[in-house]
Amino acid sequence: AQSVTQLGSHVSVSEGALVLLRCNYSSSVPPYLFWYVQYPNQGLQLLLKYTTGATLVKGINGFEAEFKKSETSFHLTKPSAHMSDAAEYFCAVRGSGGYNKLIFGAGTRLAVHP
């Protein structure tokens, strides 16, 4: 079975500081991993994904994540936080079966203060 654990339901950083959102996964099949962002009253938007190949994945808005198989982790980072990054972030792993069902973590709310 597949599952996702996001450490820290709330993270607060200063504008310009490093953003680090943690995600650990469990998967019985080779994992495909995703990070989504959700702004208030909006749907989820894909930030980046890992399927195969390069383990360091770059996404939109300056975010990147590194797949570490030995640590079963897929942490999301951004070198310098911007006020507009304040949102809810979800890590997800593909479910089993022949299609792209997603299993989500509980989410991390990122606050950015001046």
Q: Strand 10-14 relative to strand 108-113: parallel, antiparallel, unpaired?
A: parallel
Token pair in block for residue 97? 């079966």
Q: Tell how far CA 51 is from the center of its chain.
A: 14
How many Å from the N-terminal Cα to the C-terminal Cα in the chain? 41
Cβ at position 49, least distance to another protein in Å: 7
Residue among 73 and 107 whose Cβ is closer to another protein: 107
Residue among 78 and 107 whose Cβ is closer to another protein: 107
Cβ at position 85, least distance to another protein in Å: 19
3-state secondary structure of 74: strand
Cβ at position 52, least distance to another protein in Å: 8
Contact set with another protein (CB under 8 A):
4, 9, 32, 36, 41-46, 49, 51, 90, 92, 94-95, 97, 99-107
